[in-house]
Amino acid sequence: MLLPIVDVYDGDTIKTDMSSRLPEPLGKISIRIRGIDTPEKPAASYKVTGKLGRAGCIKEAELALEAKEFVEMMAVGFTKMKVDNFKWGKYGGRIVGDVKIGGVNVADALIKEGLAIPYDGGTKTHDWCQ
């Protein structure tokens, strides 16, 4: 399914608009990229205040910003992403699926760049601060 790229939320989540397929309150939805985990992003004010938010350390915060920027750069020149093998996420309110932008698998690209690790949806064990 081709979906519009509305915003890159973080390295493993892209916001889209499915208002044409879902009732209005559900139309704006996040797509969680299947098979990867990226560092937790810092607080929105991080660059000004240094607040880490969900990031465990400065290294994780910086890697999270780099992962988000990497996906944003992948999306330059593209207004849509291809989402396959999708299902409702375990936390509700978002979809988990395989995502390609411009024919490139986003999960594979992030792993290759060292900005994501493989993740099966279970307990997170990777420490981005080491």
Sign of CA dihedral 108, 76, 41, 2: negative
Banded model confidence at residue 55, pLDDT cuts 50, 70, 90: very high
pLDDT digits (tens, 9 = 90+) for 78-112: 999 999 999 988 877 789 999 999 999 999 999 99
pLDDT at 32 over 90: yes
What's the rounded Cα separation, in Å, for the pair 31 and 9? Answer: 10
- The mean pLDDT of the chain is 92
SS3 116: coil
Q: What is the pTM of this model?
A: 0.91
Return the pLDDT at 18: 84
What's the rounded Cα separation, in Å, for the pair 61 and 64? Answer: 5
What's the rounded Cα separation, in Å, for the pair 13 and 103? Answer: 18
SS3 71: helix
